[in-house]
Amino acid sequence: MSALRGYRHEWLALGLVAFCGLSFFPYIDTQEKSRFALAQAIVEHRSLRIDEWQDQTIDKARFDDHYYTDKAPGVSLLAVAPVAGFHAIGATSEKTGTDGVWIRDSLLWILRVATGGVGFVLALFLVGRAVEAVSLGAGVGAATAFGLGTLALPFAATSFGHVLAGAVAFAAFLAALAAATRRGAVLCLVSGLCAGAAVVVEYQTAIIVVLVAIYVLVRSRSRAFGLFALGTLPGILVLAAYNQAAFGSPLHSSYGYEVGVFAHPQAQGFFGIGVPDLGAAGDALFSRRGLVTQSPVLILEALGLVALLRGAHRLEAALCLAVFTAFVLLDAGYYDPFGGLSPGPRFVIPALPFVAYGLAWALVRWPLLTLAATAISVAVMIYRTGTWSGSNFRTVWSLLGLPTVISAGAVVAAAVGAIMLSYRAVSEARSDANMRSLAGRREGSLRQ
């Protein structure tokens, strides 16, 4: 059983979906400023302190009379290279030094693509190939449904860490799957490395690390688990070193030093997380901004995972269901399940690549229904992405002078193309299967 498989029309599909996701240009969020401030502080001052820009963000921690980002450092560390590149080519100025490199739209878009955008494209690639490895012809539809029909789309061209963390965590799962199939020691290490990196990007992905570790124990030998654990060490050491340098101890987290409007709620429970509220879980799934309300394709994905529990992929389906359930419950236990003005419960996003695994069954068993649900989900999510925080379909192309109606039309056209390509891929796969079945019957009759 292969963990990944290429498919026909793959690069065209990825190009269409990536074009849609990376075209949108929402207004910068306070969280993004906090992350980029750390990257700029590292490049310009060789420091982790964001004192110079702390008044621009409410997402911050305070320790020993200095300010730091309150986020996991992964996205900021990824942004260090482009920020250093801006300085190297002279794209910065005195104003970007005092107000932040993000004040220039061109630099902001590059930073977003280099962080969240990289995660978005990686997730598209992995989801499509993972689903194709289970069901021929389903890869295009899976990449389209995940990339354009879920909350991954609004956050594709941002520096929020959810999509990137989900992509790297999903890579950990797929590497563990490949290791169990091929008995590869290197793949076990890669799985652990990805798992550790995911936590550096978003702390809550530690849940996925635990579940993948259990999967490794069940599917492989104890030696594989040891290699997986060894692979997580670089990520653990990076976090420990960061916490030591910023907060005086490898065991002290930024959330323990939250200041401002988030200080009190973050101090409740476990950094703002308490016992899951079933009402909050219902809202996260079925309210106006709920996951299922805006992305009905998730119903087909979940049903697909349940169906896969009865076949050869039952362990993988069980892991994916466990990840999705855990993140819904985590979200329901958090004091702010929707994450502020987010277009939906964004804390569940790291689990979305896992639930998309169910499309391997849904796109084969119910292709037209699944593609119809995908089309509805894509339409809703494009609208939500275009109107999120009052951005009025602001795209990178409109910033370059293209009229909004034309730039938005190009995004919609690319999305329609991806959906049509999904239908074509499923149809071709069914036609090929019928041809193989007919050839098999003919060969059998000749032998008789």
List CB contacts of 128: < 8 A, sequence separation 6 or more.
7, 10, 13, 14, 139, 140, 142, 143
- Report residue 20's pLDDT band, with 50, 70 and 90 as the boundaries: very high
pLDDT at position 389, please?
A: 75
Q: What is the pLDDT of residues 205-219, one digit of tens each?
A: 999 999 999 999 998
Predicted confidence (pLDDT) at residue 326 exceeds the cutoff of 70: yes
In terms of Cβ atoms closer than 10 Å to its own Cβ (0-12, 13-18, 19+), residue 437 is exposed
Structure tokens at 322: 């466990």
Range of weakest confidence among 213-217, 349-353, 362-366, 425-429: 425-429
Instruction: Give the pLDDT mean for 323-338.
Output: 94
Predicted confidence (pLDDT) at residue 434 exceeds the cutoff of 70: no
- Report residue 22's pLDDT band, with 50, 70 and 90 as the boundaries: very high
Range of weakest confidence among 9-23, 167-181, 220-234, 288-302: 220-234
Average pLDDT, rounded, for the chain:
92
pLDDT at position 433, please?
A: 63
For residue 334, the SS3 value is: strand
Instruction: Give the pLDDT mean for 323-327.
Output: 97
The dihedral built from the CA positions of residue 152, 188, 81 and 245, taken in this order, carries a sign that is positive
Q: What is the pLDDT of residues 65-74, one digit of tens each?
A: 999 999 999 9
Predicted confidence (pLDDT) at residue 443 exceeds the cutoff of 60: no
Number of Cβ within 10 Å of residue 65's Cβ equals 7
Predicted confidence (pLDDT) at residue 378 exceeds the cutoff of 90: yes
Percentage of residues of the chain with pLDDT beyond 90: 82
Q: What is the pLDDT of residues 49-99, one digit of tens each?
A: 999 999 999 999 999 999 999 999 999 999 999 999 999 999 999 999 999
pLDDT at position 446, please?
A: 44
pLDDT at position 438, please?
A: 45
Q: What is the pLDDT of residues 36-45, one digit of tens each?
A: 999 999 999 9
What are the angstrom distances between the C-alpha of 87 and each of 80, 107, 115, 206? 11, 11, 18, 35
Residue listed under structure tokens 């900021």: 76
- Report residue 272's pLDDT band, with 50, 70 and 90 as the boundaries: confident
**Quick check: 161 and 201 in contact, CB under 8 A?**
yes
User: For residue 117, which of 17, 210, 213, 47 has the smallest C-alpha distance?
Assistant: 17
- Report residue 439's pLDDT band, with 50, 70 and 90 as the boundaries: very low
- Report residue 110's pLDDT band, with 50, 70 and 90 as the boundaries: very high
Number of Cβ within 10 Å of residue 255's Cβ equals 17
**Quick check: 336 and 269 in contact, CB under 8 A?**
no
